[in-house]
Amino acid sequence: MSSHTAIIRWQNTGPDFLQRRYSREHTWEFDGGAVVPGSPSPNIVPAPWSNPAGVDPEEAFVASVSSCHMLWFLHVSLDAGFEPQSYEDHAEGEMTKNERGKLWISRVNLHPKIVWKGSKPPSAEEVAHLHHKAHEECFIANSIKTEVVVAA
């Protein structure tokens, strides 16, 4: 098995923490050296305590679901003998309240657009099957209770 890590860093840069007026901006650092600016969503924490240029955890969650699905989709496409030229997904997470009244991302809608190479692209039924197989294999999808819907 493998282990996956991230370092999350935040620094108190102001005197108003105890009055709840403080920046929530932070960084995410990954083992390959990538550093990503993080922030809460401005929909949840207004500026100046958030920064819309940073990636919020909810966006990152949606991106990880989409990215994992895409990586598995490419893999199962290759296994089936199909060659994608490009893959683009405008993924969207829906935040609702659960049975306890707590907010959660209850659904992630994937909207992949695939351009195929070769003279024989897969049929719509074959593409649906590839998406199904990719979803079954995706580590992130297997780790969450959020509904993931692929609207290809």
Domain count, the chain: 2
pTM for this prediction: 0.92
Q: Are residues 62 and 46 in the same domain?
A: no
Instruction: Please report the DSSP string for 54-97 in residue order.
Output: SBPHHHHHHHHHHHHHHHHHHHHHHHTT--EEEEEE--EEEEEE
Q: Are residues 74 and 142 in the same domain?
A: yes
Q: Are residues 14 and 84 in the same domain?
A: no
Compute the C-alpha angle 134/130/86, nearest 5°. 90
Name the residue range of residue 88's domain. Answer: 57-150
Q: Per-residue pLDDT tens for 23-42?
A: 999 999 999 999 999 999 99
Q: Are residues 103 and 123 in the same domain?
A: yes
**Cβ-contact 133, 71 below 8 angstroms:** no
What is the pLDDT at residue 84?
97
Domain closes at, from 40, 55, 70: 55
Q: Per-residue pLDDT tens for 66-120?
A: 999 999 999 999 999 999 999 999 999 999 999 999 999 999 999 999 999 988 8
Q: Are residues 63 and 45 in the same domain?
A: no
Q: What is the CATH number of the domain that holds 109?
A: 3.30.300.20
What is the pLDDT at residue 119?
87
Q: Are residues 63 and 51 in the same domain?
A: no
Q: Are residues 139 and 78 in the same domain?
A: yes
